[in-house]
């Protein structure tokens, strides 16, 4: 199995630090504002990665931090008068609820910065004792020039980093590229420390909480969005390895940028889309399927028309499964059908083993669906092979995080009653009784060649997600989409 390592800049063979045990750290939210569709893209990607490792028999421990101390949080609280603890908990809880809707499996632990200040202080002391940090009147800073491998993740050299750092010069620092481990000064979020009152720098939290919950200095996988490579992840590597003398993570994985209509998402451009807005416009399956149609490292452009088209593909998958379950045809072994299914199953796993190539994996899934549909058109079917194909499809759907969302008839009660009234069905019936009456009315209309009424009933019900299906052996059944 090969994964792309951002430091090696190529696909490498995956071998965990401990056999069949994976510790994965994914940078979490800074919960000062609503989660957006870019966050969802990253977390869906790592959810698929996590699920695939689990499917292959790995024991995976997933750590995802909560940055509840940061300039954006402080500024938001100053603007709004909100309490920092209440703001961050409310925003993060809302985000978790939305991620649940997207079928994103929760992390094993969500450590908060505010609950790990003693550990952060001890970690900074260790870095200072090892000669990689110094104190000034404004804070404690990491000495970048002393960490000789600085830039190994981002590929930037020290001269480039120094030039960029001079934009925001702090005269108290020894060098402009040095970054804060502890910021001195009192604010609405302040903690005591050996260096006076203040708060941690942004980067130090991840090093501390990752190693604490991993219970070892080296992670298997550290992940996040591509825009975190520099300076955040570069600084994490430097301070972690300066403290422990060990590699901070064996592999680094990053998701590609997400744009909206070809432009970077921002409130100033008016193209900022919250995850709540995305899930109001599209089903969780459609949005998730849209994300995994692109490789996790590739750039992705948010396109409403493309997302809407995902529903049709999903319907094909779930319909194939339903038809397999309803199949009652005589059994006849079909070696050619079995070979087709086996070949596509192999293609799915080969794709996922090649750096989680979900576009190729979903192509294999659709090839299975086409083979199943073609086979179901025969007079006799290989029922054992169909059952096996169904189980394989369910397995793939679990890896991709796509779940058939059951819709209750009661949730459509008012709409069904309204359609029943349009076609003069008697009042006071249950939803399923109204639908049975509409089946009878449509059959009568067809028998009388009143195709306008027959088509009208079918069309109106389809608009609310209820499908009339005419069986080859005779009769009509309805089902809820």
What is the CATH classification number for the domain harbouring 322?
1.20.120
Task: Flag whether 176 is in a domain.
Answer: yes
Strand ranges in 82-202 using DSSP code E only, listed in sequence order: 133-135, 139-142, 179-184, 198-200
CA distance 481 to 467: 7
Are 138 and 199 in the same domain?
yes
Are 381 and 458 in the same domain?
no
Are 35 and 179 in the same domain?
yes
CA distance 239 to 416: 62
Are 326 and 183 in the same domain?
no
Which one of 347, 372, 400 terminates a domain? 400
Q: Going residue by residue through the chain (481 aa), what tens digit of pLDDT does each one get?
A: 999 999 999 999 999 999 999 999 999 999 999 999 999 999 999 999 999 999 999 999 999 999 999 999 999 999 999 999 999 999 999 999 999 999 999 999 999 999 999 999 999 999 999 999 999 999 999 999 999 999 999 998 877 666 655 445 677 899 999 999 999 999 999 999 999 999 999 999 999 999 999 999 999 999 999 999 999 999 999 999 999 999 999 999 999 999 998 898 888 788 899 999 999 999 999 999 999 999 999 999 999 999 999 999 998 999 999 999 989 999 999 999 999 999 999 999 999 999 999 999 999 999 999 999 999 999 999 999 999 999 999 999 999 999 987 766 777 888 888 998 999 888 889 888 899 899 899 989 988 999 899 899 999 988 888 888 887 667 788 877 7
Are 224 and 351 in the same domain?
no
Which one of 400, 418, 438 terminates a domain? 400
Are 384 and 419 in the same domain?
no
Task: Flag whether 19 is in a domain.
Answer: yes
Query: At 262, which helix (H) or strand (E)?
Result: none
Q: Which of 470, 473, 328 lies closest to 386 in space, CA to CA? A: 328
Q: What are phi and psi of 104, to 5 degrees?
A: -85, 120
Task: Flag whether 300 is in a domain.
Answer: no
Task: Flag whether 288 is in a domain.
Answer: no
Are 8 and 43 in the same domain?
yes
Q: How far is CA 436 from CA 319, 331, 465, in A?
A: 22, 32, 16
Contact residues for 78 (Cβ-Cβ < 8 A; gap 6+)? 188
Are 155 and 240 in the same domain?
yes
Task: Flag whether 282 is in a domain.
Answer: no
Please give the residue range of the domain that contains residue 460: 410-480
Are 63 and 195 in the same domain?
yes
In this structure, what CATH number is given to the domain that contains residue 67? 3.40.50.620
Task: Flag whether 455 is in a domain.
Answer: yes
State the pTM of this model.
0.88
Are 63 and 161 in the same domain?
yes
Are 182 and 248 in the same domain?
yes
Task: Flag whether 302 is in a domain.
Answer: no
Q: Left, alpha or beta for 262 (phi > 0: left; psi -120 to 50: alpha)? A: left
Which one of 337, 369, 400 terminates a domain? 400
Are 323 and 440 in the same domain?
no
- Give how many domains the chain has, as a whole number: 3
By the 8 A CB rule, do 243 and 123 touch? yes
Task: Flag whether 279 is in a domain.
Answer: no
Answer whether the bond into residue 231 is a cis peptide, omega within 30°.
Answer: yes
């Amino acid at each position: 199995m090969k994964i792309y390592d951002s430091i090696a800049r190529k696909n490498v063979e995956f071998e965990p630090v401990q056999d069949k045990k994976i510790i994965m750290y994914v940078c979490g939210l800074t919960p000062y504002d609503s989660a957006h569709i870019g966050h969802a893209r990253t977390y869906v990607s790592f959810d698929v990665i996590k699920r695939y490792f689990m499917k292959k028999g790995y024991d995976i421990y997933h750590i995802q931090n909560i940055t509840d101390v940061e300039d954006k949080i402080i500024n938001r609280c100053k603007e709004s008068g909100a309490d920092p603890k209440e703001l961050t908990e409310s925003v993060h809880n809302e985000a978790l609820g939305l991620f649940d809707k997207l079928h994103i499996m929760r992390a094993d632990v969500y450590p908060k910065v505010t609950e790990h200040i003693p550990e952060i202080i001890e970690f900074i002391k260790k870095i200072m004792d090892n000669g990689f940090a110094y104190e000034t009147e404004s804070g404690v800073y990491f000495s970048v020039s002393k960490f000789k491998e600085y830039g190994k993740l981002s590929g930037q050299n020290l001269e480039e980093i120094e030039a960029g750092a001079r934009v925001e010069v702090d005269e108290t620092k020894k060098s402009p590229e040095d970054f804060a481990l502890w910021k001195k000064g009192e604010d609405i979020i302040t903690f005591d420390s050996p260096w006076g009152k203040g708060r941690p720098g942004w980067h130090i939290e991840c090093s501390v909480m990752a190693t604490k919950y991993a219970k070892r200095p080296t992670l298997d996988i550290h992940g996040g969005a591509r825009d975190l490579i520099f300076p955040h992840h570069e600084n994490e590597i430097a301070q972690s390895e300066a403290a422990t003398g060990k590699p901070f993570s064996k592999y680094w994985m990053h998701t590609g940028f997400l744009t909206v209509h070809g432009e970077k998402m921002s409130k100033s451009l008016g193209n900022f889309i919250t995850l709540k807005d995305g899930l109001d416009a599209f089903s969780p399956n459609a949005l998730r399927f849209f994300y995994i149609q692109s490789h996790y490292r590739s750039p992705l452009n948010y396109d409403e028309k493309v997302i809407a088209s995902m529903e049709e593909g999903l319907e094909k998958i779930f319909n194939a499964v339903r038809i397999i379950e309803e199949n009652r045809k005589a059994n006849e072994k079909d070696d050619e059908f079995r070979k087709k299914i086996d070949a596509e199953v192999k293609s799915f796993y080969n794709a996922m083993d090649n750096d989680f190539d979900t576009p190729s994996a979903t192509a294999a899934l659709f090839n299975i669906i086409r083979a199943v549909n073609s086979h179901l058109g025969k007079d006799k079917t290989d029922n054992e092979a169909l059952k096996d194909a169904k189980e394989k499809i369910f397995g793939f759907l679990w890896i991709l995080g796509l779940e058939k969302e059951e819709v209750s008839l009661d949730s459509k009660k008012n709409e069904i009653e309204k359609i029943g009234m349009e076609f003069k069905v008697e009042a006071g019936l249950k939803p399923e009784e109204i639908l049975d009456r509409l089946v009878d009315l449509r059959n009568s209309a067809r028998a009388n060649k009143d195709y306008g009424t027959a088509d009208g009933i079918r069309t109106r019900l389809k608009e609310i997600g209820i499908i009339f299906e005419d069986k080859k052996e005779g009769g009509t059944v309805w089902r809820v989409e």
